[in-house]
Amino acid sequence: SAPPGVLPRCCRVPLRGGAARPPPGLPLAPCRAFSNNKIQVELDQSSGIATMKFKSPPVNSLSLDFLTEFCISLEKLENDRACRGVIFTSAVPKIFSSGLDIMEMYGKSTEHYAEFWRAVQEMWLRLYGSNMVTVAAVNGSSPAGGCLIALSCDYRIMVENPKFSIGLNEAQLGIVAPFWFKDTFVNTVGHRVAERSLQLGSLHPAPEALKFGLVDELVPEEKLHEKALAVMAQWLALPDHARQLTKSMMRKAVLDRLVAHREEDIQNFISFISKESIQKSLRMYMEMLKKKKS
């Protein structure tokens, strides 16, 4: 069953149409796709492997729209018995995801901040607690929330380009990663590496990310998809039920911690992001980005 999160209001739409399974008597389509604005989803019915490809240029930032689509797409796949595993990757060159969208955190209402943060929580609860096998095929840089998506998968493969980096770099921006980002990080790389990396807000180039255990494997870009499929085949060789219970046993404590403190965590986010000083930092940061572009 799904993790105990509740979809944000925006996500509470009917999730499965009659097309979710081919009507009886018709030949099975080998592949089925649905696309929305920001994420392209393809499910290969023969293998049971879906691909969620982020296509929200310029940097796949995690806006409220993106997160909503992410949650709906993931829930659709989670409820589709034909689907047993998902590969996450990017359709935007050089970037996997740049993390939370700053636009959602600047000059908005308290209600908007609450809705946004609930959607961020929801994304993590659904992904870290997914019953499906989840593989991140990291084909570009992956800071902050982008890194969180990768960390929440069962396995991480990264393109061996040292120009691509990954990490929870919140401290560099003067903000603090939420405790559940931290918990996910510690579960992956251990306490000491996490302590140092989080305090320095480090973005680790791919080879360093491998060394610290932030990713499991590096491959040349042209081999990424093939490798992701091979890893997926290895994980799907296990009986689903035993694998799912084992995954839950490993991740439950950390998932439960957010569930128990969810509203408190939203209030923390709101009071933090509403601060004069933080709003000022964000404005300056956005102006810097604008100048960079032009």
**Residue 160 is a catalytic residue:** no
**CB 65 → a second copy: shortest distance, Å?**
28
**Which amino acid makes up residue 130?**
S
Per CB under 8 A, does 190 bind a second copy? yes
**Residue 131 is a catalytic residue:** no
Q: Indicate which single residue of 10, 15, 82, 173 sits in contact with a second copy (rule: CB under 8 A).
A: 173
Give the span between the Cα atoms of 87 and 156, in whole angstroms.
10
Q: What is the DSSP letter of 105?
A: G
From the number of C-beta atoms within 10 Å of its C-beta (0-12, 13-18, 19+), residue 150 rates as buried
Nearest to 138 by CA among 187, 98, 198, 181: 98
**CB 141 → a second copy: shortest distance, Å?**
20
Q: Indicate which single residue of 186, 210, 259, 270 sits in contact with a second copy (rule: CB under 8 A).
A: 186
Give the span between the Cα atoms of 150 and 137, in whole angstroms.
8
Q: Which two tokens stand for residue 67?
A: 């997160």
**CB 193 → a second copy: shortest distance, Å?**
9
Q: Judged by CB under 8 A, which stretch of 70-78, 88-96, 114-122, 170-178 contacts a second copy? A: 170-178
Per CB under 8 A, does 230 bind a second copy? no
Minimum CB distance to a second copy smaller for 57 or for 213: 213
Q: Which residues neighbour 275 within 8 Å (Cβ) at sequence distance 6 or greater?
A: none
**Residue 214 is a catalytic residue:** no
**Which amino acid makes up residue 162?**
P
| Contact indicator for 16, 80 with CB cutoff of 8 Å | yes
Give me the catalytic one of 99, 140, 145, 167. 145
Per CB under 8 A, does 4 bind a second copy? no
Query: Which residue's entry shows tokens 């991740």?
Result: 251
**CB 150 → a second copy: shortest distance, Å?**
13
Minimum CB distance to a second copy smaller for 11 or for 177: 177
Alpha carbon 182 to its chain's center: 14
Minimum CB distance to a second copy smaller for 79 or for 234: 234
Give the span between the Cα atoms of 110 and 121, in whole angstroms.
17
Which residues, 247 to 276, sit near a second copy by CB under 8 A? 247, 249-251
**Residue 25 is a catalytic residue:** no
Minimum CB distance to a second copy smaller for 28 or for 284: 284
Per CB under 8 A, does 243 bind a second copy? yes
Alpha carbon 33 to its chain's center: 20
Minimum CB distance to a second copy smaller for 31 or for 200: 200
Give the span between the Cα atoms of 216 and 245, in whole angstroms.
22
What is the gyration radius of the CA atoms in the chain, in angstroms? 19
Give me the catalytic one of 62, 74, 100, 203. 100
Query: What mask of x and - would describe binding to a second copy in positions 193 to 212, judged by CB under 8 A?
Result: -xxx-xxxx-----------
Nearest to 118 by CA among 256, 263, 278: 263
Task: Give the catalytic positions in this structure.
Answer: 100, 145, 169-170
> Contact positions toward a second copy, by CB under 8 A?
154-155, 170-177, 179, 182, 186-192, 194-196, 198-201, 213, 216, 234-235, 238-239, 241-243, 245-247, 249-251
